[in-house]
Amino acid sequence: MDDTPGYRPLYRQVRDILVKRIATGVWQAGQILPSEGDIAADLGVSQGTVRKALDEMTAENLVTRRQGRGTFVARHDDARILFQFFKLLPDTGERRFPESRVLSVHLGPESEAARILDLAETESVIRIERVRSLDEQPCIFEHIYLPESLFRGLDQRDLPNNLYQLYSVGYGVTIARATERLKAVAAQKREAKALGGAPGDPFLRIDRTAYALDSRPVEWRISLCRTESVHYLSDLR
């Protein structure tokens, strides 16, 4: 897609400028952007060019546009998380947001996490363990790793269900996209017990790396799921 860094179309340069303004907090989550015309005048380009830049950003889920109202910086509200980042659904019934119960929060170096998060091996990492439930039924055992440098003090907080909103509102870190790698594995004793299964049961293991607006990896997450009555949904198009 971008094999010629020597030349970037104007609308893409505009996009980069707008993304940077969001990334650096000039425009914050939920806030309204200036109108297309104002941005165009500000940057000295045509309204159509701004429009194309915003169209791209809409496709990337970075902004939402509403006719007659304006363009808004996308928020990590529950609805968005649910559709964009939470792919585990009950076999029957509605898509729901899972309840979370935190088991532990630790702090210290962790070499594997450091490698994935692109940190020095000795850098401190926040490690969270929690169990998530759908319909009062525990079904996900989750290990989360964060660079402490980006989320200082997060380990002292009461952790909400929707972590990505906390990253955004509390630390100015916006998760823009993620990559998940799935495997089927045999349940360990501890996870099995927490989810009401038996050791050796087949569990779905989701290995997620999440990236911020500037494309840096900022969260590593391992989710072990008991998929008796839930499934992972993937749309191919």
Partner DNA sequence: CATAATTTGTCCGTATGTATC
Partner DNA sequence: GGATACATACGGACAAATTAT
Binding mask 10-39 for a copy of itself (x = CB under 8 A): ------------------------------
**Which of 80, 87, 96, 143: binder of a copy of itself (CB under 8 A)?**
87
Closest to a copy of itself by CB, 120 vs 236, is 236
| Phi-psi label, residue 36: left if phi above 0, alpha if psi -120 to 50, beta otherwise | alpha
- Applying the rule CB under 8 A, the residues between 148 and 207 that interact with a copy of itself are 176-186, 200-205, 207
Q: Half-sphere exposure of 208 toward its Cβ, with a 13 Å CA cutoff?
A: 21
By the rule CB under 8 A, 96 interacts with a copy of itself:
no
Closest to a copy of itself by CB, 29 vs 182, is 182
Q: Half-sphere exposure of 95 toward its Cβ, with a 13 Å CA cutoff?
A: 13
Residues contributing to the site for DNA (CB under 7 A): 4, 7, 9-12, 33, 35-38, 45-49, 51-52, 54, 65-71
Closest to a copy of itself by CB, 64 vs 227, is 227
Supply the DSSP string of 67-117, one letter for each residue: TTTEEEE----HHHHHHHT--EEESSS---PPEEEEEEEEEEE-HHHHHHT
Q: Which does residue 11 bind out of DNA, a copy of itself, none, counting CB within 5 to 8 angstroms by kind?
A: DNA
Q: Which does residue 1 bind out of DNA, a copy of itself, none, counting CB within 5 to 8 angstroms by kind?
A: none
Return the structure tokens found at 186. 């045999």
Residues 6+ apart with CB under 8 A from 25: 172
The strand pairing partners of 203, in sequence order, are 185
Closest to a copy of itself by CB, 120 vs 184, is 184
Nearest residue to 147 (alpha-carbon basis) of 200, 193, 181, 108: 108
Helix (H, G, I), strand (E, B) or coil at 58: helix
Q: Which does residue 48 bind out of a copy of itself, DNA, none, counting CB within 5 to 8 angstroms by kind?
A: DNA
Q: Which does residue 51 bind out of a copy of itself, DNA, none, counting CB within 5 to 8 angstroms by kind?
A: DNA
Closest to DNA by CB, 11 vs 145, is 11
* CA–CA dist 125, 117 (Å, integer): 9
Helix (H) / strand (E) containing 40: helix 36-43
Q: Half-sphere exposure of 175 toward its Cβ, with a 13 Å CA cutoff?
A: 23
CB of 106 to a copy of itself, least distance (A): 26
Closest to DNA by CB, 54 vs 113, is 54
Binding site for a copy of itself (CB under 8 A): 59-61, 84-85, 87, 176-186, 200-205, 207-208, 225, 227, 231-237
